[in-house]
Amino acid sequence: MTTTDHGNAIGSDDSVIPQAWETYKAEDHAIWRRLFERQSKLLVGRACAEYLAGLDQLGVCADGIPDFRKLNEVLDRTTGWQIVAVPGLISEAAFFGHMAERRFVATRWIRSAAQLDYLQEPDIFHDVFGHVPLLTNPAFADYLQAYGRGGLKALRLGALDMLARLYWYTVEFGLLRTPDGPRIYGAGIMSSKGESIYCLDDPHPNRIAFDLKRILRTRYRIDDFQETYFVIDSFEQLMGETAPDFAPIYRQVAELAEIEPGDVLPTDILVDRLFDGRTDT
Ligand code: HBI
Ligand code: FE
C-alpha cells in the first residue's frame, strides 16, 4: 500500500467524515480565494458553458471554502447528487460505490501556500472547484453515475486499468468541442493554472476526437501535462458511447497493444484540423 505526501495510505480509511466547515482557519479560506480568483479569470473562454453555469448555480465563489451543506441543497434540487467528505484517497471499491449511488467523495483539506501549483493527490480545491460544478449538468451527472457502476464491474472483471483511462481522459482531462473551439470540462485541467492554458493554446499536445476503444488502450502521464487530450462532441455522446456492456470491449482491447501517451494513429481524427477548416484525412 502506498503512502502519499499527505500522509494517507490509499484505501486505509474509507470512512465518510463531517466536513466540519467551522474548523477552517482564515488562512485556509485565503488560499481558496487566491486559487479561485486566479482560475476563474483564466477560465473565461476556456471552460465549457455547462461548467461555468454550474459554478454560478452553486454559488461557488471567492468568499472562501464552500460549505458542503449549501452545495448539497443546490445539487439536491438539480441532479440529486450529494457531496460526502472523506479524509483523502479512498479505496477504488468505496470510490465507485459512492459514485454509483450519486455521491461524490470530496476531500476536506486544502493545500498550503507552498503547494499552490502542484499536488500529488486531490484537495478540496481540485475536488470542489474542479469536479462539482458539472454535477449540476443532467447528462454529465448520469455519465458519472454510470461510470461508478462500471467501476464496480471492472473491479470484478479485473479490467480497472483499462477503465481508469476513461476516467482520466474524460472526467479529469476531457475537452468538449463547441462552435467556438474546444473548451475544458475535465477537473484536472480546471483546477490547474498551467494546464488550463497549455491544453488549449500549446501546439504540442494532440487533441483527438473521442474514441472509446482507443482511450481504453492509451496509457497516461501522472507526472506532467498530458501529451494527448480527447475531445467529445457533447455529454450526451459520452453517455451514449459508454452505455454498452464493456465486458466484450475489455476482451477485445486486451488483445490489442497499448498506446503510448503521445502516439498518434492513422485512424485518429485530430480536432485542431477540423477547427482550421482543413479535412481530417
Ligand atoms: N479517492 N478521494 C478519492 N478521490 C479520487 O479521485 C479517487 C479515490 N480513490 C480511487 C480513485 N480516485 C481512482 O482509483 C479512480 O481515479 C479510478
Ligand atoms: Fe479528480
pLDDT in tens, 87-105: 999 999 999 999 999 999 9
pLDDT of residue 10: 60
Distances, alpha carbon 236 to alpha carbons 33, 60, 126, 151, in Å: 33, 25, 24, 20
Confidence of residue 279 (pLDDT cuts 50, 70, 90): very low
In the chain, what are the domains? 21-280 (1.10.800.10)
List ligand 1's pocket residues with C-beta within 6 A.
86, 89-90, 92, 95, 105, 107, 122, 164, 167
Q: Is the pLDDT of residue 218 over 70?
A: yes
pLDDT in tens, 28-46: 999 999 999 999 999 999 9
Q: Is the pLDDT of residue 165 over 60?
A: yes
Distance CA 105, CA 98 (A): 7
pLDDT of residue 238: 95
Of the residues 50, 98, 191, 195, which is catalytic? 191
Q: Is the pLDDT of residue 7 over 50?
A: no
Q: Is the pLDDT of residue 216 over 50?
A: yes
Q: Check if 191 is active-site.
A: yes
Please, is 164 exposed, middle or buried when counting C-beta atoms within 10 Å of its C-beta (0-12, 13-18, 19+)?
middle
Q: Check if 98 is active-site.
A: no
Buried b (16+ CB within 10 A) or exposed e, 209-248: bbbbebbbbbebeeeebbbbbbbbeebeebbeebeeebee
Q: Is the pLDDT of residue 121 over 70?
A: yes
pLDDT of residue 272: 82
